[in-house]
Amino acid sequence: MTVALMWEARAAEGRGEELLAWARAQALPYAPVRREDFAAPQDRVLVITWWDAAYDAELPELPEPDGELVTRAVHRWRFESRGVEPPA
């Protein structure tokens, strides 16, 4: 089974690149199957990690950044894969 963990934060104004660098520097105790880092307008950063694990497995997650780096608490979601479609 594949589980995706999503971690999303909004940086303090003008600190999006700093938050992205901070997120990229966070080492997990063991590597996921896949990891992607995203940036979006309004200094948002999203990290998705994919794991070969059960939905309710204990998996390492990125921590909360320093309070001055973000405008609010991190949002976290967990999803279970329901299949992958080949490219058209």
> What integer is the mean pLDDT of 41-67?
96
45 compared with 84, residue with greater pLDDT: 45
**Would you state the torsion angle of the CA atoms of residues 10, 75, 67, 35, taken in this order, to the nearest 10 degrees?**
-80
pLDDT at 16: 97
CA distance 73 to 58: 21
CA distance 51 to 85: 18
pTM of the model: 0.91
